Structure 1
Amino acid sequence: MTNPSALRHSGLPEINAADLSEYQKALEEGRRPRGEASDALISLRLLHPVSEGSDVYVPVSPSSAAEALVAPLEQKQLELRSMINGIRSTLAAFEAVHSEVRSKEAVPLTLLTGGPVISTSVASSVRNSTREILTVQPGGSRPPELVAETIELNLALLAKGIRQRTLYQHSIRKHPVTMAYCRQVIEAGAEVRTVTEIFERLIICDDTVAYIPTSDLRANEALEIRHPALIRFMRAGFERSWEGASPIPANDPRLTRKENDDAVLLRIAELLVEGHTDESISQRLGMGGRTVAKRISALSLRLGSRSRGQLGYLIARSGMLDETGPDPSP
């Protein structure tokens, strides 16, 4: 028996045992009168009139019937293939024009390799900014030589009225060189805030070009981004972090130190409970390994922990990670 589902999709009638029996009878008798011929056999071209308009039908071999049914389909297939080739051939004439115009457009993503290449590109974009520069600087203190290189340019941009907002991690508040730089640019009009943990290094100039590192393992590679949608996405991430960050006052940056120290301690406790190593915590919070070890040691002493595993348990039991839990500060 044939597959009924396949017949339905092909538009052919379903057949049954009676149709097979009638076809056998037609073969044995050599002909069938129209009144006794099955509509299914006629649709399948297994019964064919002797002549046009005749009421007498003769049986046809299945292979001949198949050819009669398939021939018009194959013709349609040839016509469709010819139409497809015609469409492609016609539009191919426009491909050269399309490629030429697109080749003149700015490339949305450019891989920059090598420190000098990255610095030159970033400096050019910063100098050409006319409205706003957003910067995210993960890690702790900034090298003195880098601070000296950037201070003059940043002060010049601020003097022209270009808004500058920078996010650091709380750990910079204990670094005199970086804090001195922050006070100087803040007094000139810049805005600087700190958070416990930063998502990644980022520079956005006038919402037209952005720079990000390619990976943690490639310090000498960066990606220059000029795609508007990607820049909007990164700016949204910056704004979320900015809203939750702690401002550095121009007059006395120590005013929020206790608040920031508490936030750092809470984040260390969270990372310990999640199973992070000292090295991982150090990288995420932009703190030195010794500083992290010192904080963990103090936390262990406060909670009476004798081991790393017990410390995680005691932190969770203490309630210090709950929103309404006790103040973690001494």
Structure 2
Amino acid sequence: MLGAIGIDARQESAYRALVALGAAEVTDLAHRLALPEGDTESTLRRLERQGLAAQSSAGAGRWVAAPPAAALGALLTRQRQELEQAELAAGLLAKAYRTEAAEPAVHDLIEVVTGASAVAHRFRQLQSGATTEVCALVTGQPVAVTGTDNEEAQVHAARRGVAYRVVIERDALARPAGVTELAAALGRAEQVRAAERVPTKLVIADRALAMLPLAERGAEPAALVVHPSELLESLLGLFETVWREAMPLRLGVHAQVTEDQAPGPDAVDLEILSLLLAGMTDTSVAKQLDLGLRTVQRRVSGLMELAGVTTRLQLGWHAYEKGWIARGPEPVRAPESGAGSAPRWGPAPGTG
């Protein structure tokens, strides 16, 4: 617990014992810690140099603990000062890097990492540096990064409040540790979805840095690390597309993996869609269904978000592709004439 301020486990145990006792002989403390007397005295000497313990004036070989509030407070203050200096140095280096790379060359936008250990190290580094979100596509058997290494990196990131969105191939769940790793991920409140096929392994940190495999089979493992660029934007788009199409996963009783049904429109949503596709305005739809205008508009916005589209025209195509609306020649209802404004779904009849 005190390792962050430079106190190892043995020193911490000795200090805790000394605090509990107030003062103790080396012999008694060695017995309490189950350590040789020589090791116990060496540990006390290190605590003395850190200001956490001192030899008692009552007699040789007797040690007392320094008050924790004062002693540990001094170490914490020093640690904060060192961290502030390191943060300042990092800021200056980042500023110098931005100045130097104001117009980065093409080769500066992509790193090639070669070798299993180098790939694994860069992968852990990518997650360790994340501050907000990590997005990942998982497929096949791990090559350079083991499940244990990956889970360790995710645990540390989750403790810092980093959110995870992961899409995993269904076949990956069949691996011996597949369900165990999934249970651990869901236990960390990660969002996990499953897809029949995932196009490539991919991890993206803070939407600013991506990593994907370059060579795995029949060659030394290698990976690409992509910095902010059009390629990174494309990889972000790829992830979001796969994420939208994948099914959310959860664990039921007896660690049974189940997939939540993909969210879809309810009966009212479908009726609104049908009327809009028939050429009715939002106002006309609201009157026809005895709904408020804002309710209709809010539901349409929700459908667009659900479909992952930005225009109503795209929503119409999506509705047909997903089978939300039947491809029939006749409209559900005829549009009302003279009500509301011009249709907002697409061009009015006769204008194209």
What TM-score do you get using the length of structure 2 for normalisation?
Answer: 0.41
Greater helix percent: which structure? Answer: 1
Which fold has the larger relative contact order, with Cα–Cα distance below 8 Å and residues 6 or more apart in sequence?
1
- Which structure's CA Rg is the greater one? 1
What TM-score do you get using the length of structure 1 for normalisation?
Answer: 0.43
